Structure 1
Amino acid sequence: MNYVRTAMLLAGMTALFMGLGFMIGGQSGMLIALAIAAAMNVFSYWNSDKMVLRMHHAQEVDERSAPEYYGMVRQLAQNADLPMPKVYIINNPQPNAFATGRNPENAAVAATTGLLDMLSKEEVAGVMAHELAHVKNHDTLIMTITATIAGAISMLANFAFFFGGNRNNPLGFVGVILMMIVAPMAAMIVQMAISRTREYAADRMGAQICGEPMWLASALAKISGGVERIHNPDAEANPATAHMFIMNPLSGERMDNLFSTHPNTQNRIDELRKLSEAGLGTAGRGTFAQSRAPQSGPWGGTTGGRSYDEPPRPKGPWG
């Protein structure tokens, strides 16, 4: 049903885009607008991942620079039957993460230092499994296309303001004025609805990838509190990327409404709890820790995020 709902929403946004193009310039205007949107999508297809990573000053890491974090992503990618993505760290105290890339073969996952510091190892595994679920579901491409079409609709609305629209359209000039106001707002609502739908799907698949729904549920509760307290300047400077994160980095809003980029956090936790109660949760036990419940500390250890019987490691949960 999530895929059906996403397809219907994308179809609705496309119809809105085509209708606006027709009202502005008739059939020829619609074709020109379609060509512009196609060019924007092609550019976004090849460059959106690099742009987003650059916007948030993400730094790529490997097995030598971040062995635990990188190794975790590699194991989860194997669980998901995915190629190994590129792995990034964002030097930002707000706990958050996102995935990007046009397909699984060219994917990247990124986590903030705040997320790695604040969450246990099991919780980080739940978050990264969620991001790999986005990759497996091709959500990164879906959201790129959605954002591009929404941007094209806003652009067309601006064209209508300057060029006055197609005089032969059935609604006349008043209809064009209304479309200038309504179309961008409708596109934003559809974009947010698609984002919320994909988050629920990624939560479910992420729980299956890591094998323990409550790891992700516990992580979401901590992240929700963190994003409400900790400001994210890069996200504030680039609000168009907010829908990519596991939690809204702008305001930490907790309401399911038309203009929210993410579902209500408690609703997501409740759905994950239902999965756990239904029996999902045995596959992940013991994969990243001996206990089912995450411990305190950045990696689920007992002293400074490290178990007593583990050797000392470099400072920072990712090294």
Structure 2
Amino acid sequence: MNYIRTAMLLAAMTALFMGIGFMIGGQSGMMIALAIAAAMNLFSYWNADKMVLRMHHAREIDERSAPDFYRMIRQLAQNADLPMPKVYIIDNPQPNAFATGRNPENAAVAATTGLLDMLSPEEVAGVMAHELAHVKNHDTLIMTITATIAGAISMLANFAFFFGGNRNNPLGFVGVLLMMIVAPMAAMVVQMAISRTREYAADRMGAEICGEPMWLASALAKIAGGVERIHNPDAEANPATAHMFIMNPLSGERMDNLFSTHPNTQNRIDELRKLAAAGLGNGGGPSSGGRASFAQRDSRAAGPWSGAGPSSRPSRPKGPWG
């Protein structure tokens, strides 16, 4: 049902985009809009992951620089039957994480230092399993496409002001003014609806990947408190990427309303508790269903994640792009 809803929402957004093109310039305007969307999506398909990682100053790590965290991702990827993704750490005190990439073979997962500092290894495993679920479900590509189309709709709505007097426009100038207001809002609603649908699905699959629904449930509660208290300047500078994170990095919004990028946190926790009650996992213990514990740490590590803690964070130049 989630896949059907996502397909329907994508179809609605595409129809809205082409409809705006038709309203601006008739059939020729619709074809131009379609060409623009195709070009933007082609560019996003190949480059969106690199762009997002640069926006948030993510640095790639390997088994030598952050062995505990890297091995955790490798084990979770094996559980999910996925290729090993690239692994990144973001020097940001807000606890959060996201996944990106056009397919499982070209995927990347990123976690903030705040996430690694504030959460237990089991909770981090639940979060990263959720992100790998997005990769397995190809959500990273879906979310890139929806963000691109939503941006193009807003762009076309602005163009409508200049082409409102075109004789091919069936609505006239008043109709175009209305479209300039309604179309971007409609695109945003569809985009957020797709995001919320995919988050619930990733929560369920992530619980299966790590074997413990309560690991993720506990992590979500901590992350919710963290994003309310800790400002994320990079996310504020790039709000179009907010839907990619496990929790909205822009605010601590708790209402599961029409304009929220993510489901209500308590609703997500309740769904995970239902999975635990149904028999998945062992109620949050160290291991379950053949899944290894993530509690073991290298005693020589300077922080909770060797190579990833505050003591090893490199300084970066000041400014929005580092």
Normalising by structure 2, we get a TM-score of: 0.91
Shift of 1:288: 4.2
Give runs of ≥4 in structure 1 deviating > 4 Å. Answer: none
Percent identity, aligned pairs only, is 88
Contact 1:23 1:165 in 2 (8 A): no
CA RMSD of aligned residues (A): 1.5
| Contact 1:203–1:268 under 8 Å retained in 2 | yes
Shift of 1:172: 2.8
Q: Helix, strand or coil: the match of 1:231?
A: coil
Query: What secondary structure is seen at the aligned counterpart in 1 of 2:148?
Result: helix
1:317 to 285, 304, 308: 304
The answer for the alignment partner of 1:255 in structure 2 is 255
CA contact (8 A) 1:121 1:288 kept: no
Preserved contact between residue 154 and residue 184 of structure 1 (Cα < 8 Å): yes
After TM superposition, the structure 1 = structure 2 runs for residues 88-107 of structure 1, keeping only pairs within 5 Å, are: 88-107=88-107
Q: Give the gaps of 5 or more residues in structure 2.
A: 307-322
State the 1:169 CA deviation.
4.1
Residue type of the alignment partner of 1:18? M
CA deviation vs aligned residue, 1:236-286 (integer Å, no higher than 9, x gap): 111110000001001021110111000000000000000110111159527
Q: Which residue of 1 aligns with 2:9?
A: 9
Match for residue 295 of structure 1?
none
Q: Equivalent residue for 2:147?
A: 147
Q: Distance in 2 between matches of 1:284 and 1:234?
A: 36
The aligned length equals: 302
Distance 1:151 1:121 in 2: 37
Question: Residues 92-139 of structure 1, C-alpha deviation per residue, up to 9 Å, x if partnerless?
Answer: 110000000000000000000000010011100000000000000000
Q: Relative to structure 1, is the Cα distance of residues 176 and 79 closer, same or farther in structure 2, using a 3 angstrom cutoff?
A: same
The within-5 A match list for 1:26-65 is 26-65=26-65
Please tell me whether the aligned partners of residues 26 and 166 of structure 1 are also in contact (alpha carbons under 8 angstroms). no
Q: Which residue of 1 aligns with 2:291?
A: 287
Q: Does the 8 Å contact 2:62/2:87 carry over to 1? A: yes
- The one-letter code of the counterpart of 1:287 is R
Deviation at 1:314, TM superposition (A): 2.1
Q: Which residue of 1 aligns with 2:217?
A: 217
Counterparts of 1:315 and 1:2, CA distance in 2: 43
Q: Does 1:115 align with 2:115?
A: yes
Alpha-carbon distance, 1:37 to partner: 1.0
Contact 2:2–2:201 (Cα < 8 Å) also in 1: yes
Per the alignment, residue 235 of structure 2 pairs with: 235
SS in 1 for 2:111: strand
Per the TM alignment, residue 317 of structure 1 is displaced from its structure 2 partner at its CA by: 2.2
> Any stretches of 5+ residues in structure 1 without a counterpart?
290-298
Return the offset for 1:180.
1.1
Indicate the SS of the match to 1:14.
helix
CA shift at 1:313, angstroms?
Answer: 1.9
Q: How far apart are residue 165 of structure 1 and its match?
A: 5.3
Q: TM-score, normalised by structure 1?
A: 0.92
1-structure distance, mates of 2:170, 2:238: 38
Work out whether residues 26 and 170 of structure 2, in 8 Å CA contact, stay in contact via their aligned partners in 1: no
Distance, in Å, in 1 between the alignment partners of 2:174 and 2:67 is 61
Q: 1:287 deviation in Å?
A: 3.4
Aligned positions of 1:119-268 closer than 5 A: 119-164=119-164, 166-268=166-268
Match of 1:79 in 2: 79
CA distance in 2, matches of 1:315, 1:58: 21
